[in-house]
A = this chain, B = another copy of it.
């Protein structure tokens, strides 16, 4: 999925967010400012801020309020990525060297802590304790999701439900909360903010499934890192779980994953990737992603018919537009 550049109307405000993002992590410490800036400049789709602003369109849209949600959400997402990279021992992300590879693990860890702190400092500009509560709970859920991911590394016995629960915590929740808090900060109707939550949750699920598909089916240029990274790391994603369910191929794949596990992922994984690509796992995962997108679009039904509603639909479709 490419950067979201489909929102002409939001463009100006997203420029504000981009500037605020950079400003937010400036501080006394040159090293932390530099590593944080490196992380933010590596880019990303800014999906969470976009959703915050779009959520805001259903209420009293005020960029000067919404930025205190949008920027922290992107910061929290970024902080989780930098901690992820330490865990994953990742050298590249989005086609750029990671903080942990350009500097080191220790710097990556404190960069994450620093960015979390900066995110929370910004949110204190809003006097709504419920927003803080939702945000901090999402942080807790995210760390649980990350932990579950570690625990399930190379676990070939997990079922689809376990995978879905994990990505719910790891990814969807923060996207759901972005949609919800945008509406809440704009004092939109409670029905609206909970519909937005449901929209974000389902888009987030589809988005993560799609991302996991891309890691198997995309090119290095598309992904920004070598394909099969999840496999090397032992991250058993949805297409893998489905592929493992196939009687003959499943057995061969299991053996191959065990070999990769034994070598701690320090080996060629193209055979395993090839098996999964030739399995029904890809198509079945696509079906599930599409089902989440449909649910996301359904969640929009109760929303007033403003232009943003159409744009949200567009994003939903965009998330599962396959380029591989």
Contact = CB atoms under 8 A, between A and B. Distances in A.
Nearest to A104: B150
B139 A113 contact: yes
Contacts of A143: 32, 110, 113-114, 117
Interface stretch (A126-134, A242-250, A265-273): A126-134
Nearest to A87: B106
A29 B143 CA distance: 10
A92 interface: no
B28 A144 contact: yes
Given A147-B31, A150-B106, A129 B124 contact: yes
B87 A109 contact: yes
Interface string A105-120: 1110110111011101
Interface residues of A, number: 43
Best-buried of A28, A114, A136, A140 by chain B (most CB within 10 Å) = A140
A11 to B, nearest CB: 30
A260 to B, nearest CB: 18
A27 interface: yes
A120 B144 contact: no
B106 A133 contact: no
Interface of A: 27-29, 31-32, 80, 83, 86-87, 105-107, 109-110, 112-114, 116-118, 120-121, 123-127, 129, 132-133, 135-137, 139-140, 142-144, 146-148, 150-151
Nearest to A28: B144
Nearest to A33: B144
B110 A140 contact: no
Contacts of A127: 129
Nearest to A116: B116
B31 A110 contact: no
B121 A133 contact: yes
